[in-house]
């Protein structure tokens, strides 16, 4: 699965203001709920927060991969957010996070979940991609940095 297959242009948000993990996850949930009309924002937020309680999805180098499984979801969807200033996210390297690449997957497509996370992690290890994401000043620039 390619990132362009799960990330829509209207699911990127550049340089948001958010001083906490919860606030960033609220932004992600807001974006997702606008795209997924059958699932409300509170359900999405709860899904992401429950996963974070099991352990931070901050993978280091200023990156977090929040994710969760949702019933009534028909297809995998990605949401990409960058924060204006890095936030404490309890990442594995204890560094603050400013790049958030979230995915939501249907509960019945759990096997795709791990493969998708792996593809995203690989994409984000590309220093040029990460540099372009952090340099983006518009949602469109952020989208292009991720899918190209």
Instruction: Note whether 144 and 12 are within 8 A (CB).
Output: no
User: C-alpha distances in angstroms, 64 versus 2, 16, 72, 119, 121?
Assistant: 19, 15, 25, 14, 9
Among 8, 27, 67, 113, which one carries the catalytic annotation?
67
- Dihedral of CA atoms 11, 108, 66, 22 in degrees, nearest 10, equals 90
- The ranges assigned to domains in the chain are 3-147
What is the tens place of the pLDDT at every residue in 36-78? 888 999 999 999 999 999 999 999 999 999 999 999 898 889 9
pLDDT digits (tens, 9 = 90+) for 72-97: 898 889 999 999 999 999 999 999 99
Percent pLDDT > 70 in the chain is 97
Per-residue confidence (pLDDT) for residue 117, from 0 to 100: 74
pLDDT tens per residue across span 103-132 = 999 988 767 667 777 788 888 989 999 999
67 counts as catalytic: yes
Question: Per CATH, which fold does 3-147 belong to?
Answer: Mannitol-specific EII; Chain A (3.40.930)
């Amino acid at each position: 699965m390619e990132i362009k297959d799960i990330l829509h242009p209207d699911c990127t948000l550049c340089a948001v203001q958010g001083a906490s993990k919860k606030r960033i996850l609220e932004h992600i949930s807001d974006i997702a709920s606008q795209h997924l009309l059958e699932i409300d924002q509170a359900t999405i937020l709860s899904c992401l927060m429950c996963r974070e309680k099991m352990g931070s999805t901050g993978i280091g180098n200023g990156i977090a991969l929040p994710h969760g499984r949702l019933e009534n979801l028909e297809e995998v969807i990605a949401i990409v957010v960058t924060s204006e200033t890095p936030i404490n996210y309890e990442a594995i390297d204890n560094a603050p996070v400013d790049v958030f690449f979230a995915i939501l997957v249907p509960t019945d497509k759990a096997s795709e979940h791990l493969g998708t996370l792996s593809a995203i992690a690989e994409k984000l290890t590309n220093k040029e991609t990460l540099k372009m994401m952090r340099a983006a000043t518009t949602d469109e620039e952020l989208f292009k940095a991720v899918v190209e």
